[in-house]
Amino acid sequence: MPLPATAPIASPPQAAFGDTIEILPKIFHDDTNLAVMRRQLDADLAASVAAQLAVDRRLDWRWRGGVGEALAEDLLNHLPRPSQAKPLVEDITLICEAMAYLFDTQTIGVRLQRLEGAMCPRFHVDNLAVRLVSTYAGAGSEWLPEPAVERAGLGAPRPGKPDPLRDAQSIRRLGCGDIALLKGEGWVGNEGRGLVHRSPQPAPGEPRLLLALDPG
């Protein structure tokens, strides 16, 4: 008598790292929920970032629309020191163009924020399909490899609910300047497997500058 067919057991999602942009399409692999292009900011870009943060002013720029001159002009108009912003604007525009090309979309949601505290301090997953994050200043986003995750602990805390973090020694952190694609729960076929991550707590007097992009 033949045995009943069983569904294949999905392997734990993996992370992919590289030093060139060719690593980012790895996010389309079924077994990959994090793709990271490692990079360090060059001197001109780092100086441009530092100039914007030297002004003690709130920065929370948001854009949803096409990628082009309008995006660059709007960003420039919202930065504290536009005369020193060219390298930063060019870098963000280039990343937006790459995101639009990779996901074949005409619309990008963009957010550039100065953060004095942890925006999402609890480990969580995103309900969207995918998000690109890059930290221009301060500590990079923290994430967990699958063996360190207790998924029953995700979501709003309540009495008796376990901690989503199984092992504090397993916390990983993206580097400043890294460009990372984080696959969420909204990616078709990735339900229950979205990357678990959180915002780090900035050091006192050292704000973060975070870029986040959503395609479509």
Q: Give the integer Cα–Cα distance in Å for 48 and 46.
A: 5
What is the pLDDT at residue 10? 55
Q: Give the integer Cα–Cα distance in Å for 215 and 110.
A: 9
Read off the tokens for 182: 């984080």
Q: Are 71 and 104 in contact (CB under 8 A)?
A: no
Determine phi and psi for 203, rounding to 5 degrees: -65, 150
- Which pLDDT tens digit goes with each residue over 48-102? 999 999 998 999 999 999 999 999 999 999 999 999 999 999 999 999 999 999 9
- Which pLDDT tens digit goes with each residue over 69-81? 999 999 999 999 9
Q: Does residue 2 belong to any structural domain of this protein?
A: no
pLDDT value at 177 more than 60: yes
Determine phi and psi for 59, rounding to 5 degrees: -135, 115
Q: Does residue 7 belong to any structural domain of this protein?
A: no
The whole domain housing 167 covers 14-215
For the entire predicted model, the pTM comes to 0.90
Q: Does residue 70 belong to any structural domain of this protein?
A: yes
Q: Does residue 6 belong to any structural domain of this protein?
A: no
The CATH number of the domain holding residue 67 is 2.60.120.10
pLDDT value at 1 more than 60: no
- The mean pLDDT of the chain is 91
Q: Does residue 28 belong to any structural domain of this protein?
A: yes
Q: What is the separation, in whole angstroms, between the first and last Cα of the chain?
A: 50
Q: Does residue 123 belong to any structural domain of this protein?
A: yes
What is the side-by-side order of every strand in the sheet holding 14-18? 14-18, 32-37, 179-183, 130-137, 208-215, 108-115, 60-65
Q: Does residue 76 belong to any structural domain of this protein?
A: yes
Q: Does residue 5 belong to any structural domain of this protein?
A: no
Q: What Cα–Cα distance (Å) separates residue 111 from each residue in 59, 78, 204? A: 10, 12, 23
The region of weakest confidence among 17-26, 95-104, 125-134, 163-172 is: 163-172
Q: Give the integer Cα–Cα distance in Å for 100 and 196.
A: 24
Read off the tokens for 137: 């200043």
Is the CA virtual torsion 154, 158, 162, 167 positive or negative? positive
How many domains, the chain? 1
Q: Give the integer Cα–Cα distance in Å for 96 and 109.
A: 9
Q: Are 88 and 48 in contact (CB under 8 A)?
A: yes
pLDDT value at 5 more than 60: no
Q: Give the integer Cα–Cα distance in Å for 154 and 165.
A: 9
What is the pLDDT at residue 206? 87
Q: Are 125 and 135 in contact (CB under 8 A)?
A: no
pLDDT value at 114 more than 90: yes
Q: What Cα–Cα distance (Å) separates residue 173 from each residue in 69, 170, 194, 215? A: 33, 10, 17, 23
